C-alpha cells in the first residue's frame, strides 16, 4: 500500500471546506421515509446519504432490512436530491446488486470485517471498482484485522478506500455502546495518514445525546468526516432508535462543531509548544523509570512467592489495588476508564515478570 496518496484523492474531489458528512437512517424502511429524509438533508452539508438495506442482526427474528427493493428507493432519492448513496454490503451478492443499482459508496460492517474470507469475497466482487469503499473497524479491538481488511481491498485494485471508526465491543460496562478505544484508530491513522478516517458516533455511543461530544472529540483528533444515523422520526425507527437524530438536530450538530486547524505556523505558538513537549518527554522518561522500578519489586515478590510455593495471582490484592487507584486517580482528575486500563496493563506486566521468576532455575 505504498501509494496511499491515491486514496485521499476521492475525498479531495468533494472540495469540502469542512469534514465529510454521511447521514441517513439506520435502515431504509419505506420509500416515503427514504425520500423524506433525503429531501430534508438535501440543503445541508451532507454529501452522502446512507441507509441500511441488509441488516445483520445479532439474533434472528429482528428486522433484517427491506432488501433489494430499498436500492430502487435510493436511486429515486439520488435522482431527486443529487446526494450520493451509500449502503452496507456483506456478501458478493450484495455487491452485485449495489453495483447494478449504481450505488456510489459501499461500506463493510464490523461483523464482516472480522471475517477475512467474507472480506476477500467482497474484494473479488469489487475488483478494480471506481466506487468508494469504506471499511468499519472489526467488532473486537484488533488493529491488524482492520488493516488486513483494507489491504485485501487495495490488492483487488480498489483505490477509493476509507475507514470508519465505530467503536469496539467490550464485556466491561461503560457509558458507550461500543467503546471508542481511540488509540487503535489513532494508530491506524498514524500508519496510514492518507486513508480518510471517518467517525461513527451513532454506533460508538448508542445514544443520540452523546453524538455531538464524540464527533467533536474525533475532529479534535483530525478525523476526516462523520457518519451519523438520521431519521425523520427516530423514536419510531425500526432499528437502533435510541442512536438516531432528526435532520434538524444533525444540522445543529454540524453547525456547533469546531473545526480545528492541523497546525499553526505562529512563532510564539511553536515556541510554547516546544517547551511543553520537552516537559512531556521528561515526564514520560520518569514514568518509564518508575514503572521499571516497580517491575523489579514485582520480580522480588515473585522470588518470595516461589520460595514459599505461593501462587502468582492474588485476586484479592489486585482488586484492592484497583479500587484504591481508581479513587486516588479520581482525586487527580483521571477518569476511571483510564485508571482501569492503565493498571490492568501494569498488572499484566507485573504477572509476566513474576512468571519469569517462577520459570527461572
Output the pLDDT for position 147: 97
C-alpha cell at 18: 469542512
Q: Distance from first CA to last CA of the chain, Å, rounded?
A: 47
Nearest Cα residue to 107 out of 150, 157, 58, 170: 150
**In 3-state terms, what secondary structure has residue 143?**
helix
Q: Report all structural domains of the chain as residue ranges with CATH numbers, in order of start.
A: 5-256 (3.20.20.70), 268-359 (1.20.59.10)
Q: How far is CA 13 from CA 24, 31, 253, in A?
A: 21, 30, 24
Output the pLDDT for position 216: 96
CB atoms within 10 A of CB 87: 26
Q: Which of 75-84, 160-169, 204-213, 269-278 has the lowest mean pLDDT?
A: 269-278
Whether the model pTM is above 0.85: no
Please report which confidence band the pLDDT of residue 1 belongs to, taking 50, 70 and 90 as the band edges: low
Q: 171-203 b/e with 16+ CB inside 10 Å = b?
A: eeeeebbbbbbeebbeebbeebeebbbbbbbbb
Please report which confidence band the pLDDT of residue 174 belongs to, taking 50, 70 and 90 as the band edges: confident
Residue 66, judged by CB atoms within 10 A of its CB (0-12, 13-18, 19+), counts as buried
pLDDT single digits (tens) 316-358 = 999 999 999 999 999 999 999 899 989 999 999 999 999 999 8
**In 3-state terms, what secondary structure has residue 321?**
helix
pLDDT single digits (tens) 45-94 = 999 999 999 977 666 767 778 999 999 999 999 999 999 999 999 999 99
Whether residue 4 has pLDDT greater than 80: no
Q: How far apart are CA 347 and CA 342, in angstroms?
A: 9
Nearest Cα residue to 168 out of 187, 154, 152, 183: 183
Please report which confidence band the pLDDT of residue 160 belongs to, taking 50, 70 and 90 as the band edges: very high
C-alpha cell at 261: 486547524
The Cβ-side half-sphere exposure at 294, using a 13 Å CA radius, reads 15
Q: How far is CA 298 from CA 78, 212, 286, 317, 329, in A?
A: 63, 43, 18, 13, 22
Tell me the chain's radius of gyration from C-alpha atoms.
24
pLDDT single digits (tens) 130-144 = 999 999 999 999 999
CA angle 83, 178, 246 (to 5 degrees): 40
Amino acid at each position: 500500500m505504498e501509494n496511499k496518496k491515491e486514496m485521499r484523492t476521492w475525498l479531495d474531489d468533494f472540495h469540502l471546506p469542512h469534514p465529510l458528512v454521511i447521514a441517513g437512517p439506520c435502515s431504509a424502511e419505506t420509500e416515503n421515509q427514504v425520500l423524506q429524509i433525503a429531501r430534508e438533508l438535501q440543503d445541508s452539508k451532507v454529501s452522502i446519504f446512507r441507509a441500511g438495506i441488509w441488516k445483520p442482526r445479532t439474533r434472528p427474528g429482528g428486522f433484517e432490512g427491506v432488501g433489494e427493493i430499498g436500492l430502487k428507493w435510493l436511486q429515486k432519492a439520488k435522482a431527486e436530491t443529487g446526494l450520493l448513496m451509500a449502503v452496507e454490503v456483506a456478501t458478493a451478492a450484495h455487491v452485485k446488486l449495489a453495483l447494478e443499482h449504481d450505488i456510489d459508496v459501499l461500506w463493510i460492517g464490523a461483523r464482516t470485517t472480522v471475517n477475512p474470507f467474507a472480506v476477500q469475497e467482497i474484494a473479488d466482487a469489487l475488483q478494480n471498482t471506481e466506487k468508494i469503499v469504506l471499511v468499519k473497524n472489526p467488532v473486537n479491538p484488533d488493529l491488524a484485522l482492520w488493516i488486513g481488511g483494507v489491504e485485501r481491498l487495495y490488492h483487488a485494485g480498489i483505490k477509493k478506500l476509507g475507514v470508519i471508526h465505530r467503536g469496539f465491543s467490550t464485556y466491561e460496562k461503560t457509558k458507550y455502546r461500543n467503546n471508542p478505544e481511540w488509540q487503535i484508530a489513532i494508530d491506524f491513522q498514524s500508519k496510514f495518514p492518507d486513508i480518510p478516517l471517518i467517525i461513527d458516533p451513532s454506533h460508538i455511543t448508542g445514544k443520540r445525546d452523546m453524538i455531538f461530544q464524540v464527533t467533536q472529540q474525533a475532529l479534535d483528533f483530525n478525523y476526516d468526516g462523520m457518519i451519523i444515523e438520521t431519521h425523520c422520526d427516530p423514536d419510531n425507527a425500526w432499528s437502533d432508535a435510541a442512536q438516531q437524530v432528526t435532520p434538524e438536530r444533525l444540522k445543529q450538530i454540524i453547525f456547533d462543531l469546531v473545526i480545528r486547524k492541523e497546525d499553526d505556523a505562529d512563532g510564539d505558538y511553536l515556541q510554547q509548544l516546544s517547551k511543553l513537549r520537552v516537559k512531556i518527554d521528561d515526564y514520560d522518561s520518569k514514568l518509564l523509570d518508575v514503572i521499571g522500578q516497580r517491575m523489579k519489586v514485582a520480580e522480588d515478590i515473585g522470588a518470595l512467592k516461589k520460595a514459599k510455593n505461593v501462587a502468582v495471582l492474588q485476586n484479592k490484592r489486585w482488586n484492592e489495588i484497583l479500587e484504591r487507584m481508581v479513587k486516588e486517580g479520581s482525586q487527580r482528575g483521571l477518569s476511571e476508564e483510564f485508571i482501569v486500563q492503565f493498571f490492568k496493563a501494569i498488572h499484566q506486566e507485573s504477572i509476566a515478570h513474576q512468571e519469569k521468576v517462577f520459570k527461572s532455575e
